Structure 1
Amino acid sequence: MNICVFLSAADLDERYTRPAGEFATLLGKGGHTLVWGGSDVGLMKVVADGVQEAGGRLLGVSVDFLADRARADADEMVIAGDLGERKRLLLEKADAVVVMVGGTGTLDEATEILELKKHGRTDKPVVVLNTAGFYDGLREQFRRMEDEGFLPRPLTDLVFFAEEPVGALAHLEETLGVV
């Protein structure tokens, strides 16, 4: 399974890196491919290292202005011309999406896939890995959108919130019928 992970390229403390590393190890041991922004820095590096060390495959999609940060030993690396093309390629190459902790870029990527799902333009499963309650506020906002009629589909059709890495991967494997 090709799993796209949207996440930060920032250097973060252990409360975020430990669960990210756990998820990466699960991906690699499961024989899955990490589809990610291609960076070899920060949390992106933590996840790529974990997947690779556990036997998984790395498929990166970087962007030309960040190409100097691209991971040199990825199994495959694509350099997109701009951020829009990068998002399109990340989603094309993925069977599912996991949103980990991140900033505005991560939030942009996450909301784009949810908007595509809302309009029936994709049916790829999306999981938010809510490490240390990072996305509690976002989950509450989504619930309010649903309650007040802003979402034409039930929130549970759009996204699954997982509190732990094992639950995130289990949901994806179950949803996609991977044994």
Structure 2
Amino acid sequence: MNITVFCSANDLDERYTVPAREFARTLGERGHTLVWGGSDAGLMGVVADEAKAAGAKLVGIMVELLAHKAYQGADELVSTADLAERKAQLLARADALVVLVGGVGTLDEVTEVLELKKHGLHDKPVVLLDTDGFYDGLRTQLRRMEQEGFLPRPLDELVRFAPDGATALRYAEEALDGEVSASA
């Protein structure tokens, strides 16, 4: 399975890097492919290193503006002209999407894939790895949107929140297994 990961390119505290490493190691051990922003910087580099060490194939989708931060050990590295094209490629290559901790760029990526899913433009599983309660505020806001009628479908159909990396992968795998069973 191709798992697109959105996350920070910043160097972060161990409370964020340790769970990210565990997630990436599990991803590789389960034979999945990591599709990510293609950077060797910060958490992106940590996730790529760990996934590769655990046997994962790495597909980086890199924006030309950040080519100087390209991960040199990727099995495939795709260059895009801009961030919009990069987001489109990250979604197109995904069987499932897992969101680790990140800043404004990560928030932009996750809100775009949720908006597209809300409109039925994809139905790929989206899972947020809620390390140390990082996404508690977003979960609260999304629940309010659901309760007040801003979401045309139930929140748990749009996104799942996972307390750890193994659970995040399980949610993605179960969602995809359900699609295979439903179409069989």
Q: Which residue of 1 aligns with 2:128?
A: 128
Is the partner of 1:26 in helix, strand or coil? Answer: helix
Shift of 1:173: 1.0
Shift of 1:73: 1.5
Letter in 1 for 2:110: A
Structure 2 regions of 5+ residues with no counterpart? 179-184
RMSD (CA atoms): 0.8
Is the partner of 1:3 in helix, strand or coil? Answer: strand
Shift of 1:174: 1.1
Structure 1 regions of 5+ residues with no counterpart? none
Pairs within 5 Å for 1:86-105? 86-105=86-105
Instruction: Give the TM-score, by structure 2 length.
Output: 0.96
Is the partner of 1:94 in helix, strand or coil? Answer: coil
Task: Write the deviation string for residues 106-132 of structure 1: whole angstroms up to 9, x where unpaired.
Answer: 000000000011000000000000000
Q: Which residue of 1 aligns with 2:39?
A: 39
Instruction: Give the TM-score, by structure 1 length.
Output: 0.98
Q: Partners of 2:153 and 2:11 in 1: how far apart? A: 36
Shift of 1:161: 0.3
Shift of 1:72: 1.2
Shift of 1:177: 1.5
Q: Which residue of 2 aligns with 1:28?
A: 28
Q: Which residue of 1 aligns with 2:13?
A: 13
Q: Which residue of 2 aligns with 1:162?
A: 162
Structure 1 runs of 4+ with >2 Å offset: none
Q: Partners of 2:119 and 2:41 in 1: how far apart? A: 34
1:76 aligns with 2:76: yes
Is the partner of 1:177 in helix, strand or coil? Answer: helix
